[in-house]
Structure 1
Amino acid sequence: MSQILMFFTLSFFSLLSSPSLAAEGNATSPSDVCRFAPDPSYCRSVLPNQPGDIYSYGRSSLRQSISRARRFMSLIDDQLNRKGKVAAKSTVRALEDCKFLASQTMDFLLSSSQTADATKTLSVSRAEDVQTFLSATITNEQTCLEGLTSTASENGLSGDLFNDTKLYGVSLALFSKGWVPIRKRSRPVWNPQARFKKFFGGFRNGRLPIKMSERARAVYNAVTRSGRKLLQTEEGAVKVSDMVTVIQNGTGNFTTINEAVAAAPNKTDGSNGYFLIYVTAGLYEEYVEIPKYKRYVMMIGDGINQTVITGNRSVVDGWTTFNSATFILSGTNFIGVNITIRNTAGPTKNQAVALRSGGDFSVFYSCSFEAYQDTLYTHSLRQFYRECDVYGTVDFIFGNAAVVLQNCNLYPRQPRQGQANEVTAQGRTDPNQNTGTVLHGCTIRPADDLASSNYIVKTYLGRPWKEYSRTVVMQNYIDGFLDPTGWNAWSGDFALSTLYYAEYNNTGPGSNTTNRVTWPGYNIINASDASNFTITNFLVGEGWIGQTGVPFVGGLIA
């Protein structure tokens, strides 16, 4: 199979609706629809053994997925009730991770099933929503299993996780075939760079175009006096419902960030705007969490290395990778600006995350993420990073979100003796997941400690954490320290024929592809293929990123 054909086989752009299956009322058999599933024999075993169409089979699979998710939630609760007081802390933490993930999975499945039951015709953006949710259910199962395995505490749950993952894969495959519209590869590229003013560009006529409470006005005046103003779109300033300040000396509304987060309203729909938390300069030694019911939160600091959030949890010290993060984001439509987030566990403590993001439609602008192994955990859903700095060593940008890092600075650091650096470790486990990591217009150069090191450390663009790992590196500057092969294997020939790694039009001494790997899944692509991984096409991001006022380039960089 050629590389181009492989690309369209493995990527979600190839999931074109089949007229024979998608036509309303056109009966077919489980064997016919199951050829699109990752495990056709398993798919046939769970679908009704009677004629139907892809919609009826898809809805049946989703109903079964919901039933299985409920069962798994009960199993986790039972494990926690029986072992919560006697098991090791690491085991309890892994089970608590699974409980959180199972609850999130249930939300995603219920929403997806409601959409599938309601209609057979979806817009691109709505289909993207459901495909994203179903992709995340599989990621959640895998994350739960990894946490349990890492603590040697599977407790008989691995079989349930394995079968549930396969069932969710059936639901994703059938939804992708039945409901996802045909995607045109040559969509018009919308480039809003010129349409949006830069951050802190000021308000029209110096005023916010909303009614503000006295408290919000006081905070706004404080922000303005400090030289900061809010994000600006073509239509005016980004709408803000309320604002609070975090100042450690007690002169603001709160002295800790988590207190400010707790004050944000729950389950808002964004119609009244963002809840703004202004975090003044200082070193905040706290573990910050934006839970899933805190939506439309905007957090602005005083700048990189000025507003610093720091922690030191690590796997070596008994935390799972998932809950080692200094900053955990689960709420949707979050905007973070001018903040440094650190994990100071160090290179000898293995996995130690700075930011873990599973917040859909999350945007980080002018932020810095600093750790060593596993710095930036782009866990799931849709994410965008603009003009951010990321420091790390092994797999320091990893996860299974649909994520674009644009105009960012990526700094491999000095790892512990004997380790190599991989900038990315993307974790797609199912070929129908619409996930992947895109590095676009970034600069990849060594951090100071690596640049001045006395022994040679090999640095690679990435390695395949999971079977269908997908990473695209396009229009970046790559310094000369990169190993000429470009990419590192995970273990033997694992995933080398099923991954999708691609490079396009990079510059710098490390961008020479002459001696790159010759794996079946590695590609040097052209502009047409690269356009599939732009914000416009890959994230369908014009609307949700555009409303934040953060600048971005929707297509390829001219």
Structure 2
Amino acid sequence: MALARARARARAMKVSALCIISLLIIIFSKSHALPSSSLDKDSICRTTPHADHCNYILTSNRLHTIFDYGNISIHHSLSNARSLLASVEHFLRLPSTSLEKVRALEDCRFLSDQNVDFLSQVSDGLSSFNADDLDALLSAALANVETCFQGLESVPLASNIKDRLYRLNGTKSISVSLAVFRHWDHGDFTVTRRNLMVPKSDSIIERNSPLSLLMSTDKQVIHEFATGKKDIEMLTNGNISVAQVVVVSPRGDGQFTTINDAIAAAPNNPGDSDQYFVIYVVTGIYEEHISIPKNKQNLILIGNGIGRTIITGNRSTADGLTTFNTATFAVVGKKFIAVDITFQNTAGPTKGQAVAVRNGAEKSVFYRCSFEGYQDTLYAHSARQFYRECDIYGTVDFIFGNAPVVFQKCNIYPRLPLPNQQTIITAQGRTDPNQRTGISIDDCVIKATGDLASSSGAKKTYLGRPWKEYSRTVYVRSFMDSLIEPSGWIQWNRDYDSTLYYAEYKNNGPGSSTDYRVNWPGYHKDISSTEVDQFSVSNFINGDKWLPATGVPFNGDFH
């Protein structure tokens, strides 16, 4: 009997131990949102342009999960960003620093500070991020570093400044982080991404959203909300709610006379709140240089229509500024929306780079807006962006940057350039093969302005040129008038011909023939519907997940 009782106790202890182990396994598995699939570092490092640096920072092959590798790479990226920011601030404090250097260093401080925020968010809560958001954030961080050093390269720097900053730039570490998360299999995110198919949608719009009401052609409704004649609670029943509506009027019959004052009055850091601060800008010409910072999120700027509400400036690189700082209107505060406004840079064709709008705002939208300039009109700098039913005017590289951006149902108007220039529509700046960035032009119209049309026999217009090594641009279902040069595309650097990705799909019009297009290895004229789908609103900027709430119409796919 004693032996039987001992055996029974042993069995009970074994069962209890198994239950405890099972419970611990369940608790542990639920405490990690990231997957735990094994992967050796060599397979990761082969996918980055910086394999040696990758092997240096991912020191061990004994790590078991993407989560482990991700923590290491993000830690290195954040450490670099903090060190770069500290060094930039140190050099800015030196009394001998020239104005030219100060301007370039101030750009670096702005961009490095933004990267410290980005990477701190990831480091503090890696398991809470989905794959698409990580892609967008890390791609934007890499674009910020590249922009900082482009500005530094444009001014003469002392060798000690240059050496120190370049040593800390962090480009390689962020590139490794991108490579790591390219292998992150989380939900609908796959290693190849090419097979990613988001459920399709046809002209999705949340027609009952507050923004749909505010975008109505009768702007009197906005005045009524701003003056209390209509209850603001009426605007809180959709997917987004409106916290406040204010009016900007130069006549003094609104709460503010300048747009900058209205932006300053908006709440700081609403975080993940869905409440929007709406600024209605009445008809008028606003000679203001506007910069919406990172802590001014969820802003909606609504005008009275193209050519009626005009924000204008004339800064250019001829004034000794960096391209980054020439913008008439700049925004980085996420979830920004602009409707029915003209943005201008009137510096003219002889003064070089002169940006009308610089956009680095995550999940931003421009709807029924106009962008008017010459060289470098619209700087789609970084972060996911969408433009719908907009007009874009310019001469050289007038749509450029390194954002994941879709232009849909827009009018693109090349203007007459200087005698020694060619008209070039796009200059996309992707610098890493793992960046999910590029320019997607869908269902747009490309026509010459009157001055270019009258001299079109002497001037050539190109669809784009590769600003950086992995430049990526696609034209889909768009009308191209006869101004387009038969070769379509023009070189910037011959070495980029095989690493770029350019494609055309089902375009129409006299300039759309691909019979005489360039024969570069990176140019594709016969892509499949599956391949082009990766550049749709749904897949390229994940628009199905955030655009419906804005009330702005969009087509999720190309079919």
Unaligned runs of 5+ in 1: 1-21, 204-211
Asked if the contact 1:148/1:154 (under 8 Å) is kept, the reply is: no
Give SS of 1:486's match: coil
Q: 2:121 aligns with which of 83, 87, 111?
A: 111
**Corresponding position of 1:100:** 110
Give SS of 2:427's match: strand
> C-alpha displacement at 1:417, in angstroms?
1.3
Asked if the contact 2:357/2:379 (under 8 Å) is kept, the reply is: yes
Q: 2:478 aligns with which of 462, 476, 479?
A: 476
Moved more, 190-199 or 366-375: 190-199
**Corresponding position of 2:434:** 432
> C-alpha displacement at 1:271, in angstroms?
3.7
**Corresponding position of 2:162:** 157
Q: 1:268 aligns with which of 264, 267, 270?
A: 270
**Corresponding position of 1:177:** 183
* Aligned residue identity for 1:35: R
> C-alpha displacement at 1:55, in angstroms?
2.9
> C-alpha displacement at 1:57, in angstroms?
2.3
User: For residues 297-446 of structure 1, what are the structure 2 equivalents within 5 Å?
Assistant: 297-446=299-448
* Aligned residue identity for 2:397: D
Q: 2:53 aligns with which of 42, 57, 60?
A: 42
Distance (whole Å) between structure 2 residues aligned to residue 189 and residue 27 of structure 1: 32
Percentage identity across paired residues of the two chains? 46
Asked if the contact 1:199/1:550 (under 8 Å) is kept, the reply is: no
> C-alpha displacement at 1:273, in angstroms?
2.2
Distance (whole Å) between structure 1 residues aligned to residue 550 and residue 390 of structure 2: 16
Distance (whole Å) between structure 2 residues aligned to residue 387 and residue 160 of structure 1: 42
User: Relative to 1, partners in 2 of residues 1:318 and 1:44: Cα closer, same or farther, differing over 3 Å?
Assistant: same
Q: In the alignment, is residue 24 of structure 1 matched against residue 36 of structure 2?
A: yes
Distance (whole Å) between structure 2 residues aligned to residue 50 and residue 436 of structure 1: 33
Asked if the contact 2:337/2:365 (under 8 Å) is kept, the reply is: yes
* Aligned residue identity for 2:505: Y
> C-alpha displacement at 1:439, in angstroms?
0.4
> C-alpha displacement at 1:306, in angstroms?
0.5
Distance (whole Å) between structure 2 residues aligned to residue 101 and residue 218 of structure 1: 35
Q: In the alignment, is residue 78 of structure 1 matched against residue 78 of structure 2?
A: no
TM-score, length-scaled by structure 1:
0.86
User: For residues 204-223 of structure 1, what are the structure 2 equivalents within 5 Å?
Assistant: 217-219=225-227
> C-alpha displacement at 1:217, in angstroms?
3.0
Measured against aligned partners, the alpha-carbon deviations of 1:16-46 in whole angstroms (never above 9, x if no partner) come to xxxxxx9737373x43432222221221122
Distance (whole Å) between structure 1 residues aligned to residue 486 and residue 89 of structure 2: 49
Asked if the contact 2:248/2:255 (under 8 Å) is kept, the reply is: yes
User: Relative to 1, partners in 2 of residues 1:256 and 1:477: Cα closer, same or farther, differing over 3 Å?
Assistant: same
Asked if the contact 1:270/1:295 (under 8 Å) is kept, the reply is: no
User: Relative to 1, partners in 2 of residues 1:353 and 1:215: Cα closer, same or farther, differing over 3 Å?
Assistant: closer
Q: In the alignment, is residue 61 of structure 1 matched against residue 70 of structure 2?
A: no
> C-alpha displacement at 1:240, in angstroms?
1.4
Distance (whole Å) between structure 1 residues aligned to residue 210 and residue 379 of structure 2: 25
Q: 1:33 aligns with which of 44, 67, 73?
A: 44
> C-alpha displacement at 1:272, in angstroms?
5.5
**Corresponding position of 1:208:** none
User: Relative to 1, partners in 2 of residues 1:188 and 1:158: Cα closer, same or farther, differing over 3 Å?
Assistant: farther
User: Relative to 1, partners in 2 of residues 1:202 and 1:33: Cα closer, same or farther, differing over 3 Å?
Assistant: closer
User: Relative to 1, partners in 2 of residues 1:198 and 1:547: Cα closer, same or farther, differing over 3 Å?
Assistant: closer
> C-alpha displacement at 1:455, in angstroms?
6.4
User: For residues 406-555 of structure 1, what are the structure 2 equivalents within 5 Å?
Assistant: 406-453=408-455, 456-491=458-493, 493-524=494-525, 525-555=527-557
**Corresponding position of 2:132:** 128
Asked if the contact 2:243/2:275 (under 8 Å) is kept, the reply is: yes
Asked if the contact 1:198/1:551 (under 8 Å) is kept, the reply is: no
**Corresponding position of 1:145:** 149
* Aligned residue identity for 1:513: T
> C-alpha displacement at 1:168, in angstroms?
1.1
Asked if the contact 1:440/1:474 (under 8 Å) is kept, the reply is: yes
> C-alpha displacement at 1:66, in angstroms?
1.2
> C-alpha displacement at 1:188, in angstroms?
2.8
**Corresponding position of 1:19:** none
Unaligned runs of 5+ in 2: 1-33, 215-220
**Bigger Cα Rg:** 2
Number of corresponding residues: 514
> C-alpha displacement at 1:268, in angstroms?
1.0
Distance (whole Å) between structure 1 residues aligned to residue 452 and residue 180 of structure 2: 47
Give SS of 2:42's match: helix
Give SS of 1:503's match: strand
> C-alpha displacement at 1:519, in angstroms?
0.4
Moved more, 278-287 or 54-63: 54-63
Measured against aligned partners, the alpha-carbon deviations of 1:2-26 in whole angstroms (never above 9, x if no partner) come to xxxxxxxxxxxxxxxxxxxx97373
Distance (whole Å) between structure 2 residues aligned to residue 195 and residue 495 of structure 1: 42
Measured against aligned partners, the alpha-carbon deviations of 1:441-495 in whole angstroms (never above 9, x if no partner) come to 000111111112376121100000000000010000000110000001003x121
Give SS of 1:359's match: coil
Distance (whole Å) between structure 2 residues aligned to residue 93 and residue 194 of structure 1: 42
Distance (whole Å) between structure 2 residues aligned to residue 463 and residue 550 of structure 1: 30
User: Relative to 1, partners in 2 of residues 1:271 and 1:87: Cα closer, same or farther, differing over 3 Å?
Assistant: closer
Asked if the contact 1:196/1:232 (under 8 Å) is kept, the reply is: no
**Corresponding position of 1:51:** 62
C-alpha RMSD of the superposition: 2.9
User: Relative to 1, partners in 2 of residues 1:26 and 1:87: Cα closer, same or farther, differing over 3 Å?
Assistant: closer
Distance (whole Å) between structure 2 residues aligned to residue 396 and residue 308 of structure 1: 19
Moved more, 86-95 or 459-468: 86-95
Asked if the contact 2:479/2:509 (under 8 Å) is kept, the reply is: yes
> C-alpha displacement at 1:254, in angstroms?
0.7
Distance (whole Å) between structure 2 residues aligned to residue 175 and residue 159 of structure 1: 29
